[in-house]
């Protein structure tokens, strides 16, 4: 039987491999892709990708939202280079400004993984008068045990950066410290994994990175579990349809 230390070594190798395979590039400066500039009455959706990903991971979602007449601001940010607080205050305001300059409102957010924590951090400190709804996909709203167990391992900080170190489950965790939400929030999380080694570190059902239990947050309006993994949930057709349902009605479709 493998010891925990042996498992952790294999897990770290897996993290490195997945990170390299999924990441096209790490942005070092602000970059946005804006779609659907047609008219001033269009509602705006700001997309925020997750840790060690780029805006390319959200392109299918951006395209589908644009086809549904949303003005989409697909935001890139250097997720591995700064802490969560810096990222939220540096990269969310310019995205909001693009919506405002286009007279597109209300302003919604759709996020993947750590992107949801950026939104929570920003809205804890700021008010957006045009704020609409927020949909979070696989968010670590109460942190992840993966970070608890691996953050002190050599190489973890280099792979995940300062923000990745802030996503544990203890009292110093940024998502834990942010507390309840007070905006219209729907959460979609998965119950499938493509990384069984990471799942071994997570108690209960999980999506390969975050437990279902820890995706929840007090104050959310709706919650749905779908049969997809953490890394690719944002590209699944059924997830995109549920996202649009919440943006339109404030609720998911529960069978």
Q: Strands 222-226 and 184-190: what pairing?
A: parallel
Distances, alpha carbon 76 to alpha carbons 31, 49, 54, 58, 215, in Å: 5, 7, 6, 10, 23
Query: What would the pLDDT profile of 200-230 be if each residue is shown by its tens digit?
Result: 999 999 999 999 999 999 999 999 999 999 9
- Smallest CA-to-CA distance from 170 within 196, 146, 142, 197 is with 142
Residue 17 within a domain = no
CB 243 within 8 A of CB 233: no
CATH number at residue 129: 3.40.50.1820
Structure tokens at 188: 């979609």
147 domain residue, yes or no: yes
Q: What is the tally of structural domains in the chain?
A: 1
Within a domain: 58: yes
Query: Which residue positions in the chain have pLDDT lower than 50?
Result: 1-30, 37-40
Q: Which domain, by its residues, includes 241?
A: 4-9+29-249
Q: What is the pLDDT of residue 33?
A: 57
Q: Is residue 226 part of a domain?
A: yes
Give ∠ CA 253-193-163 in degrees, rounded to 5: 90
Tell me, yes or no, whether 14 lies in a domain. Answer: no
Measured in whole angstroms, the distance separating CA 81 from the mean position of its chain's CA atoms is 17
In a domain, 106, yes or no: yes
Residue 108 within a domain:
yes
Q: Which residue has tokens 């997750």?
A: 50
Task: Note whether residue 16 is domain-resident.
Answer: no
Distance CA 92, CA 66 (A): 20
SS3 95: helix
Written as six digits, the tokens of 105 are 């409102």
* Residue 141: per-residue pLDDT: 98
pLDDT at 60: 97
């Amino acid at each position: 039987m493998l010891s925990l230390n042996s498992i952790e070594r294999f897990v770290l190798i897996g993290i490195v491999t997945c990170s390299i395979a999924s990441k096209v590039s790490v942005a070092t400066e602000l970059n946005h892709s804006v779609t659907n500039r047609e008219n001033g009455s269009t509602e705006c959706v700001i997309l925020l990708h997750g840790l060690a990903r780029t805006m390319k991971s959200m392109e299918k979602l951006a395209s589908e939202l644009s086809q549904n007449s949303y003005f989409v601001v697909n935001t890139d940010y250097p997720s591995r280079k700064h802490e969560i607080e810096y990222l939220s205050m540096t990269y969310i305001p310019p995205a909001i400004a693009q919506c405002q300059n286009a007279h597109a409102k209300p302003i919604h957010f759709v996020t993947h993984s750590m992107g949801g924590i950026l939104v929570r951090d920003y809205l804890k400190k700021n008010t957006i008068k045009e704020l609409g709804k927020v949909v979070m996909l696989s968010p670590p709203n109460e942190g992840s045990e993966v970070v608890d167990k691996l953050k002190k391992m050599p190489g973890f900080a280099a792979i995940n950066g300062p923000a990745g170190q802030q996503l544990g489950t203890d009292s110093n965790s940024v998502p834990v410290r942010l507390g309840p939400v007070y905006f219209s929030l729907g959460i979609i999380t998965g119950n499938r994994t493509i990384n069984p080694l990471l799942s071994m570190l997570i108690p209960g059902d999980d999506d390969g990175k975050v437990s279902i239990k820890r995706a929840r947050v007090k104050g959310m309006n709706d919650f749905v579990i779908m049969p997809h993994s953490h890394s690719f949930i944002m590209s699944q057709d059924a997830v995109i349809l549920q996202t649009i349902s919440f943006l339109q009605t404030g609720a998911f479709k529960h069978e």
